[in-house]
A and B are shown apart, each in its own frame.
Chain A
Amino acid sequence: MLEFEVVEGGTPDCAVVAVRGELDIATAPTLVAALDRATGNGARRVVVDMLETSFVDSTGLTTLLRVHKRFEADGGDFSIVCGPDNLEVRRIIDLMGFNSVFVIHESLAAAGCEQ
């Protein structure tokens, strides 16, 4: 059973990291490693694609927040793609107020990053 997968894509300048499955304390390190690779490769923009994320908890979001802080401190551009119909994820983001820190796009096209 596939519970979690991180798919790396995008362009050298704009990295797209898609999170499929459940993002929690057990899986967050895998995402962080993928994001580190993206920024290590020189990407100026990072888009975390959560369209296929089935679950996220406060630890998962806190992990994203840490990466976001570090990346923006370096002058990078960090955003999330999460559609309005992915309630499992979107409601937690809104409830914990992460929508006021993260730039959230409704689709990859809206994020302006080629897949």
Chain B
Amino acid sequence: MTAQPVTAVDLTNCDREPIHVPGSIQPHGALIGFGPDRRAVLASANAEALLGIANAELTLDQLAGAQGARRLQQQAGNGDQVTGPTPVTTPNGEFEATAHHSDGLLIVELEPAATEPSASFELMRGVILRLSSAASVADLCAIAAREVRSLTGFDRVMVYRFDDDYNGEVVAEERRSDLNPFLGLHYPATDIPAQARALYLANWLRTIVDVGYEPSPLQPQTNPLNGAPVDLSHAVLRSVSPIHVEYLTNMGVAASMSISLIDEGRLWGLIACHHYAGPHRPAQATRAAAEFIGQVMSLLLAAKERADNYQRTIAVQSMLATLVGGMQVERPGEVTASHPAELLDLVDATGMALRLDGRWWTAGTTPDADLDEIAAVMTSQDADVTSTSSLGLDDPRFASCKDVASGVLAVAVSRQSGDTALWFRPEVVQTVDWGGDPQNKVIAVAEDDTVRLSPRRSFDLWKETVRLRSVPWTPLDHDAAGDFGRHVAGLLLQRAQRAAEVARTLQSGLAPEALGTLPGFRVAGRYRAGGLGDVGGDWYDVLQIPGDGTAVVIGDVAGHGVTAATTMGHLRHAARAYLLDDQSPAAVLRRLNALSHWVLPDQVATAIVVVFPSDGSGTMVMASAGHVPPLLSAGGAAWFAEIPAAPALGVVPGAAYSERRLRFDHEVLLLYTDGLVERRGEAIDVSLARLAQASAAHHDDPDLVDRLIELVGPSPAEDDLAVLAVRRG
């Protein structure tokens, strides 16, 4: 009778291959199954020839002697209390036997006794000390690879680590110096199917002594006690999947061994050993020592990972401190230009975009797609920190930016203003080396088109499974991003507080009571900040010029923020100085324009200067620099003062300003900034007409300014606005 797999196995069904019931074993040892009466009921076909004992009617005592039989039964019942194999003498020489139970059978496996000395206590003690002293997980893996190779003599020993999806990466390697390195190579989860991983959790060590072996079938194929295929999950001689053998053969591997690394019940990785020179069979005791190294390493993993996390946390905190220290309160976004490396390293990203102050600041490589749209998708959930490692799969609109942004980590810094931080990672296929990459010639050398299964074939599968995916973001990445977001939010708050303070200081002179009293005039003024509480650049001023009359100024610096408010302060004080010097409004504007070009580059302001001469003429002289026109009203009518048009301050160097003398007697003069009249989707003439109409109807109202803001002013307030009403009296 020979072993026949139930169905031919290929890559499409290998994850369903029943590898725990192969019906055969590797022929370097023999397997005998004993029934409850301790008589042999099945055996591998090679048992008689290998052991020189006839299986028929064989009892456990005949095989191992009374004492050996007891020890084997004890080992099968409670393996932990029996260390090492049981020696068995046969007509063909000395063997080592191990035993375990399977579905009512006592399975005894025999291998020729070792000729090499077993690992000593001193040796193992040194190994454990070295493993314990590892500073990091990487260090631990390197030490384990070195120790296992020196113990077992395999040509290549690798530590192979699984990710969350059981894709693997070679993270440590010890090899014969003439071999091509596999360190850093990645292998897809399909290379080690789920049922194989389940077996790896159940037993810690597997060996294939000779990849070219002829399986020795069990006779009979089924367990006589229950009629089912014999479960060989725990058999060390278990014949392996033909797929696995083909895979190894195509890689040139002659013998292999693997040891499970299990962290808190999860298969963390493997210590994988390859031999190329020919069959390789470490003795039972050597295998046990290697298995012990795997178990010690497994126990140390959690502690070393904690140590790694701790190191990483310290590094992240240090980067955060650098970033926070390097951020300008006024222009925090510029950190993307001044500290791009820290911004990216903070979460191991390749690109970063920061939305602050209504624009995007970027570092590294960022996607061409609309960042606002990515931010909208990422911050649509309640959590402040969100991430995806498959943006293009989540939202096909972004599939085209996979090379830059398959992974996105997002922090909502401020939902109110839409401030957001985004980090990006590329599609993973571009960041790793593939074990099956056809460009890796050494691996592919033995392959041609007739090869059914090989690392190269699985590379094709791998490309499919990792399409549009990035390396996933870790909890540490989330924490670091969240910390960064909170620092930025704190900085923005600090800035807002500072700005509010500056605004109060700069505009404190605009409070109605600060206008003081002007003999011969009644003046009412109002300033209202913009809807976002932002500092604006609107101002007005009234002053008496000793001996020469009275002057009123209104102005509006384009833009918002402290820069606009500071410019406003400069212009306001300069206007006062110039008025003391020269009572010509046109001359004052000309000098303000020169000042703007000289010391306030890139700042633009509109202004009107009005001088009321104290010559008893009942007139005023005014000039405008691009400002909305003054409104005069009296007798139920209102009209705009016709003054020559001239550019705003800071627009045309050396611009000419001219002034006009107008009657000002019983009229109400209304000066205002565009914040009072500006309307989106409406031509300014329409807004001005509405203002004129309101003023014509209410010019005698003592609270005219408030009334006009109420009737005409935009609601909600968007821009800041200033309004000033002047009459004689």
Chain A residues with a Cβ under 8 A of chain B: 22, 25-26, 29-30, 33, 54-55, 57-59, 61-62, 65-66, 69, 87-88, 91-92, 94-98, 100-101
Considering the chains assembled together, what is the distance between the CA atoms of A57 and B647 in angstroms? 15
Stretch of B120-128, B238-246, B379-387, B554-562 contacting A (4+ beta carbons < 8 Å): B554-562
Interface of chain A: mostly helix, strand, loop or mixed: helix
The 3 closest A-B pairs by CB, nearest first: A97-B647, A96-B626, A29-B359
Stretch of B72-80, B456-464, B678-686, B696-704 contacting A (4+ beta carbons < 8 Å): B678-686
Shortest distance from the beta carbon of A92 to any chain B beta carbon, whole Å: 6
Q: Is the CB of B685 within 8 A of A87?
A: yes
Q: A26-B358, A58-B558, A61-B604 are in contact. Are A97 and B626 (CB under 8 A)?
A: yes
Contacts A57-B674, A101-B651 aside, 16 further interface pairs with beta carbons under 8 A come to A30-B359, A54-B680, A58-B648, A59-B560, A65-B602, A65-B651, A91-B684, A95-B645, A95-B684, A96-B626, A96-B648, A96-B651, A97-B625, A97-B626, A97-B651, A98-B626
Q: Is the CB of B680 within 8 A of A61?
A: no
Q: Is the CB of B652 within 8 A of A62?
A: no
Within 8 A of A (CB), among B598-656: 602-604, 606, 625-628, 645-648, 651-652, 655
Instruction: Please name 22 pairs of A and B residues whose Cβ atoms are closer than 8 Å in the assembled complex, sorted by A.
Output: A25-B358, A26-B358, A29-B358, A33-B359, A54-B680, A54-B681, A59-B559, A62-B558, A62-B603, A62-B604, A65-B604, A69-B602, A87-B683, A87-B684, A88-B681, A91-B683, A96-B626, A97-B646, A97-B652, A98-B647, A98-B648, A98-B651
Instruction: Write the chain B residue with the least CB distance to A60.
Output: B558
Instruction: Write the chain B residue with the least CB distance to A26.
Output: B358
Shortest distance from the beta carbon of A62 to any chain B beta carbon, whole Å: 4
Tell me whether B477 is interfacial, beta carbon within 8 Å: no
Instruction: Write the chain A residue with the least CB distance to B530.
Output: A25
Chain B residues with a Cβ under 8 A of chain A: 358-359, 556, 558-560, 602-604, 606, 625-628, 645-648, 651-652, 655, 674, 678, 680-685, 719
Q: Is the CB of A61 within 8 A of B558?
A: yes
Chain A residues within an 8 Å CB radius of B602: 62, 65-66, 69
Considering the chains assembled together, what is the distance between the CA atoms of A12 and B716 in angstroms? 43
Instruction: Write the chain B residue with the least CB distance to A30.
Output: B359
Chain A residues within an 8 Å CB radius of B684: 87-88, 91-92, 95
Q: Is the CB of B559 within 8 A of A100?
A: no
Chain B residues within an 8 Å CB radius of A98: 626, 647-648, 651
Q: Is the CB of B682 within 8 A of A59?
A: no
Considering the chains assembled together, what is the distance between the CA atoms of A101 and B646 in angstroms? 11
Chain A residues within an 8 Å CB radius of B359: 29-30, 33
Chain B residues within an 8 Å CB radius of A54: 680-681
Q: Is the CB of A97 within 8 A of B645?
A: yes
Chain A residues within an 8 Å CB radius of B719: 57
Chain A residues within an 8 Å CB radius of B681: 54-55, 88
Q: Is the CB of B655 within 8 A of A62?
A: no
Considering the chains assembled together, what is the distance between the CA atoms of A69 and B650 in angstroms? 11
Considering the chains assembled together, what is the distance between the CA atoms of A26 and B559 in angstroms? 10
Chain B residues within an 8 Å CB radius of A87: 683-685
Shortest distance from the beta carbon of B723 to any chain A beta carbon, whole Å: 17
Q: Is the CB of A25 within 8 A of B651?
A: no
Shortest distance from the beta carbon of B292 to any chain A beta carbon, whole Å: 62
Chain A residues within an 8 Å CB radius of B683: 87-88, 91
Chain A residues within an 8 Å CB radius of B651: 65, 96-98, 100-101
Considering the chains assembled together, what is the distance between the CA atoms of A29 and B655 in angstroms? 28
Q: Is the CB of B358 within 8 A of A58?
A: no
Considering the chains assembled together, what is the distance between the CA atoms of A95 and B630 in angstroms? 13
Q: Is the CB of A55 within 8 A of B680?
A: yes
Q: Is the CB of B560 within 8 A of A25?
A: yes
Considering the chains assembled together, what is the distance between the CA atoms of A62 and B674 in angstroms? 15
Considering the chains assembled together, what is the distance between the CA atoms of A96 and B651 in angstroms? 9
Considering the chains assembled together, what is the distance between the CA atoms of A36 and B648 in angstroms? 25
Considering the chains assembled together, what is the distance between the CA atoms of A12 and B651 in angstroms? 29
Considering the chains assembled together, what is the distance between the CA atoms of A69 and B648 in angstroms? 15
Chain B residues within an 8 Å CB radius of A33: 359
Considering the chains assembled together, what is the distance between the CA atoms of A97 and B647 in angstroms? 4
Considering the chains assembled together, what is the distance between the CA atoms of A62 and B602 in angstroms? 8
